[in-house]
Amino acid sequence: MKAGSKRSVSFIFLTLFFGVIIGTILSMLLGAILPGGVVREFFLTTTSIGWGITPNNWTDMFIFRFKTGLFLDISVTSILGLGVAWYFLRYFK
């Protein structure tokens, strides 16, 4: 890229998406390599954020009804993957 050119939003989101994939792969590798203990728990413990937790979250449209929900699992390794992607965005201008 040239020094004065801007990146598209889709390129940024695609790069950050690949960072999440890298974080997931890193999480799987650390889960296979690390023995049980505090370090493994630190890297692999996830926190889910989103909606749709309750079993009674039906949306009723009178003709049909459906459940909605979206969850994101955040862990230290997913944040590391996002950091790696952000580094590549900043490094390769």
Cα separation, 58 vs 66, whole angstroms: 6
pLDDT at residue 66 in the model: 81
Tell me the C-alpha to C-alpha distance, in Å, between residue 75 and each of 4, 20, 30, 36, 44: 36, 11, 12, 17, 6
- Tell whether the model's pLDDT for residue 44 goes beyond 60: yes
Does residue 3 lie in a domain region? no
Mean pLDDT of all residues belonging to the chain? 82
pLDDT at residue 74 in the model: 84
For the full predicted model, state whether its pTM sits above 0.85.
Answer: no
Q: What is the pLDDT of residues 70-84, one digit of tens each?
A: 888 888 888 888 888
CB neighbour class for 76 (10 Å; exposed up to 12, middle 13-18, buried from 19) = middle
Does residue 4 lie in a domain region? no
Does residue 2 lie in a domain region? no
Chain position carrying tokens 């009178």:
62
What confidence tier does 2 reach under pLDDT thresholds 50, 70, 90?
low
Domain hosting residue 33, numbered range = 9-91
> What's the structural domain count of the chain?
1
pLDDT at residue 50 in the model: 80
Does residue 71 lie in a domain region? yes
Does residue 41 lie in a domain region? yes
